Amino acid sequence: MPDFRAETDAEGICTVTWDVPGRSMNVMSFEGLATLAALVEAALADAGVKGIVLTSAKPDFAGGMDLASFAGLKARGPAAIFAGVMEIHALMRRIERAGMDARTLRGGKPVVAALPGTAAGVGLELALACHRILVADNPRARIGLPEIKVGLFPGGGGTTRLARRLGVMAAAPFLLEGRMATPAEAKAAGIVDEVVPAATLLARAREWILAAKDADLVKPWDAKGWRMPGGAPYSPEGYMTFVGASAMVNGRTQGLYPAARALLSAVYEGALVPFDTALRIEARHFTTVLVDPTATAMIRTLFLSKEALEKGAARPGAEPDRSVRRLAVIGAGMMGAGIARVAAEAGITVALLDATAAAAEAGRARLAAALEAEVARGRLAAARRDATLGRIAAGADYGALADADLVIEAVFEDPQVKAKVLAQAAAAAPGAVIATNTSTLPVTGLAAAVGGAATFLGIHFFSPVEKMALVEVIRGRATGARAVATALDFVRQLRKTPIVVNDARFFYANRCIIPYINEGVRLLAEGAGPALVENVAKALGMPVGPLQLMDEIAIDLAVRIARATRAALGPGYADTAVDEVIFPMAEAGRIGRKAGAGFYDYDARGRRTGLWPGLAGRFPARPADAAEVRDRLLLVQVLEALRALDEGVLEEPRAGDVGAVLGWGFAPGTGGPFGWVDRVGAAAAGARAASLAARHGPRFAPPARLAAMAAAGSRFYPD
């Protein structure tokens, strides 16, 4: 069955419907492009057709390009990629001109994009080539060009068209940040033309076609005398825009992401030439990005691997659907309330419990205040706020657990407190799967509180819950398939990305991020200036430096974790040098952002004002090698990830890379720690680690796996 089909009604309106078989969301392939091109050509050639409506049979319009379609082209080299991209441009341009006379710009047939829901990537690029864009008033729909988030940029005409439609400054958030807008936001920004009730979407599209005049079909950039909104590069206004955009891109990307530079170059160069030449420039820059190893790594991790995990790659196959209808969350603090919120937003009924009804109600009230702030900023509809709050009942009675499918404990990170709460939960909900949201404590040890049940596991959310995409599902020694399937189905309901890891202290993400923070603290203690440490980390591609991250987590929490870890490991504890820095900081009340004082200073609103000047007196700066600082901050994470794989905490590199990038922001341009090893080569990675180990100790000792991979010439991923 083809991806597109066409039907012409009695009024001469040809409706081309996108409906990719076997997919919940339409994606574009080169085979689909060929089918669409043939249908469009036939409609334009048919004298009985007055206009074309492009729509979808699915709830959404399209999720973008099937990136696997580029794999074959990439194997054939850059020329094949460029030719394939130009095929896309040719179709888009054919739709845009719609048979009109090239000289008079008359005689074309109107083409309307009728979007029932989300239009992302090439789905929006296709709509931008149409003469009118209508989108249904669908609160779940999102409109945008998110390619930059996977190491690409819109290469099917979206870069050139959106920049010319909106102007560079207005288009920048959608092109350079990949911002996805609601239908109302897209209309306000000028991306779409109309937002209409879903029931009248196709009727309105037909109405517009029948009333359209020749002038309605001419794109602004095809009209005589057109000028770029906001100014072309060499106008006074445009000059300032492009200078500012260049500074912004380089500041945000640290020069690590070729896609952002290429996008800006395509817009700048394209603005100096006619439209069709600009499309060729866009295609050339897109080709250079697609063959760059950064794009390969980011596409693999942030698209292919992430999608596979979200679709259940790690789910026990024999288990039936375990979707959660009723959830109980014990602990109404920041984490518990956050879990309750995202579950309720997903349509799940939630019982939010705490030690007292007043504490539970206070947690719900904080949640309500957060939702109200979203409404005030125009980011959330009042009706959706009310529906979310209506699904959450707060209290202290464990009787509310009786009919829960899943119970999540999210109380204070103390094993005795958790054990008591878990025992009560197991007694109150004998048929439910029970999970702990612990971020550091081994799940198998906590399982004793519920009798070591096969229905017990860890579900580790990251903070803030409503923003962080990753969830670690931790399998204890006794955890059974039903519990894992329930957890994965629950995470899928929340539209988050799960990785399944086996039980160990700190699991996977915290196991790797704690050494990164600690290495930054060690460097500070050794005399590497704090500004050097923080800036080198950002130049690596880390979203924040280790000292800022310590402030965000809270130094007093780090102290508690350090004490618990030292008690558990005894003589094996290796972070005494870190404790000599953070313990005095905590004693001095400099415990991080929440206190307005940590490694950084903060203003009354909690905004960083700069590194604390007192650090210079406590840790006098000495000459430091920036390259060594870089290697220490990077390799301390990579080596811990490799050890997690060797010890069976991770079962595959794919989960490790997705977890690293989504969980703590590990240099996304590398694709993750395992992708980084593939990029530099196992031999080079091992040599850099051995060199550091000789100077700084066994935490940098290269695992035997690296030497074995180097000898065999093997990789974690196919080349």
**Which residues are identified as catalytic?**
460
Round to whole Å and give the CA distance between 514 and 213.
Answer: 64
* Residue whose structure tokens are 């995470």: 491
CA distances for 396 relative to 329, 332, 360, 633, 636, angstroms: 11, 10, 7, 45, 44
Terminal-residue alpha carbon distance, the chain: 33
Compute CA 553 distance to the chain's CA centroid, rounded to the nearest angstrom.
Answer: 21
Round to whole Å and give the CA distance between 142 and 184.
Answer: 10
**Token representation of residue 375:** 């409404």
Burial of 704 from C-beta contacts in 10 A (0-12 / 13-18 / 19+): exposed
Helix axes 236-253, 168-176, angle to 10 degrees: 20
Maximum Cα interatomic distance, the chain, rounded to a whole number of Å: 86
Q: Are 686 and 700 in contact (CB under 8 A)?
A: no
**What string of DSSP letters covers 198-221?**
GGGHHHHHHHHHHH--HHHHS-GG
Round to whole Å and give the CA distance between 686 and 679.
Answer: 13
- Please report, as a single letter, which amino acid is at residue 576: T
Please name every residue paired with 507 in a beta bridge, in sequence order, or none if there are none. none
Dihedral Cα 82, 83, 89, 92, nearest 10 deg? -140
Backbone torsions φ then ψ of 504, nearest 5 degrees: -170, 160
C-alpha radius of gyration, the chain, whole number: 28
Q: Which residues contact 530 (CB under 8 A, 6 or more apart)?
A: 524, 547, 599, 611, 615, 619
Sign of the alpha-carbon dihedral angle for 9, 10, 12, 13: negative
* Residue whose structure tokens are 């069955």: 1
Q: Are 433 and 457 in contact (CB under 8 A)?
A: yes
Q: Are 395 and 350 in contact (CB under 8 A)?
A: no
Round to whole Å and give the CA distance between 443 and 464.
Answer: 22
Helices and strands counted in the chain (H then E): 31, 19
Q: Please give the angle made by the CA atoms of 601, 607 and 613, to the nearest 5 degrees.
A: 15
Round to whole Å and give the CA distance between 700 and 640.
Answer: 9
